[in-house]
Amino acid sequence: MLEKRLPADLGRLSVEALKTSEKLPLVLVLDDIRSALNVGSVFRTADAFAVERLVLCGITACPPHREIHKTALGSVETVAWSYSPKAAQALQQLRSEGYRVLAIEQVKTSLALQAFVPELGVRYAFVLGNEISGVSQGALEHCDGALEIPQFGAKHSLNVAVAAGIAVWEFVRKHRLSGQ
């Protein structure tokens, strides 16, 4: 019989322990995300996978915000974040700090997500764009490349928080759980 694990069995970190624990060398940049519910959901994903930090840009809502809290479920307390009005400037800054900046976007030269292998010792930033228009051309100009999630349907688009989750999972799996 399948028996659920109790919260005490899940090995959750305390908020304080999490702040000093090893983070994934990955920053998520959210550019012009319209829905605060999506922002909250990305906060939750960032907590779950110990993402280094979030950079919220443009019209993306910032905490404190009722709808972010609704889906973030406390993870705004555990995930580091900053706000930058212009994504282009934030990406320039990240690149000057040595981050490799990759858009999660359907671009002519994008690499299929499953073929992406994070390079050891390199810190990455993944850029996620607006729900309708995706990563803006202005932001793409400051990216080193793009990763694309292959899709096989009629709509050819995923919810942005789901796309972020898949991209971060793939990074975690290859970076932290490699060999499995």
Give, as ranges, the residues between 73 and 102 that touch its own copies (CB under 8 A).
73-75, 78
Q: What angle do CA 139, 98, 52 make, to 5 degrees?
A: 80
State the pairing for strand pair 81-84/100-104.
unpaired
14 binds its own copies (CB under 8 A): yes
One residue of 85, 86, 97, 112 binding its own copies per CB under 8 A: 112
- 3-class state of residue 175 by DSSP: helix
20 binds its own copies (CB under 8 A): no
Tell me how many residues contact its own copies (CB under 8 A): 72
When the beta carbons of 4 and 66 are compared against its own copies, the nearer one is 4
8 binds its own copies (CB under 8 A): no
Q: Which of residues 37-56 bind its own copies (CB under 8 A)?
A: 37, 41, 44-50
Cα→Cα distances 102→62, 65, 85, 167, Å: 22, 28, 19, 11
Closest distance of CB 17 from its own copies, Å:
8
Q: Please state, as a whole number, how many other Cβ atoms lie within 10 Å of the Cβ of residue 9.
A: 8
